[in-house]
Structures are given as structure tokens and as C-alpha cells.
Amino acid sequence: MKYVVFRVADEKYALPVQQVQSIEIIPQIRPIPTPPKHVVGVSNLRGVITTIVDMRSVFSIEVTAQRTSESRILVTESGAYIVDGVQDVMDIDEAELEPWEGNERVRGVLNNGKDLILVLEVIESVGEAEVAK
């Protein structure tokens, strides 16, 4: 199965390629008053006003305002997420994954010799109710 490998801080994650609608360069993001915890603001992505979520916040990693030329927006069915970089699209055989217990959103962990990649089933939406707050 093909996965998009992306980076948040120094950690690598993978998401099934069919879950990713697009990968975008970070556009201008407009702040919104008193946003929910993970929300950075809104942006016009290809003509659609979209809520932008910081993946560092979602994964409980220190949020930095600094974005680099590698930073991207990963657009999925559940939302648009700022990640620190998109590394690659790679084939991952399910047999290569070490099981991960206790979180149904995680398919497993891939040890490719130099990195541990947390392979996700899905990135869960922040939730319409939270975004509307």
C-alpha cells in the first residue's frame, strides 16, 4: 500500500495516499478570534475557505510560529493540516509493521533501519463543533 510520509518536528508519520487530497505550499493564513486549541486560522485553498490546523498541536508537540520552506499543508478529507515537511510517497508492506496497541488510529510502526515511522490509519478531524466554537 502507498503512504505519504510527512514530518512533524523530528518525528515521521505516514498516511495512506488515498486519504490525502493534496499537498499545498503554505498560503496566507488569516487568524480568527479566539480559535479552538489546534486551529491556526483560515485560508483560501483553491477557492475554498478552509480551516487550518497545526499538526504539532494535534500531536502535543511544542508549537512554533516559525515555518520553513519545507512546511506544507496536508489536505485530507478531515481537514487541512500544517506539517513541517512531506518526505516521500512509499510502499509499505503491512507485514513490515510492528503492532501498536491502544490507539485505533495507528496502524503500526515501521522501522526502516534509520527511522521509526508511525503509520496512521487516518488523521481525525478536529471536529465541526470545536471549529465552530
Domain that holds residue 52: 2-132
pLDDT 10s digits, 10-45: 899 999 999 999 999 999 999 999 998 889 999 999
Q: Tell me, what CATH number does 80's domain have?
A: 2.40.50.180
A 10 A CB-CB count for 65 gives: 6
Count of domains in the chain? 1
What tens digit of pLDDT does each residue of 39-89 get? 999 999 989 999 999 999 888 888 776 788 899 999 998 889 999 999 999
Rounded Cα gap, residues 54 and 19, in angstroms: 18
pTM over 0.75: yes
Q: What is the pLDDT of residues 39-50, one digit of tens each?
A: 999 999 989 999
For the chain, the helix, strand and coil percentages under 3-state DSSP, each to the nearest 5: 10, 50, 40
Integer Rg of the chain from CA:
15
Q: Which of 52, 45, 61 is nearest to 7 (CA)?
A: 61
Tell me the pLDDT of the chain averaged across its residues. Answer: 87
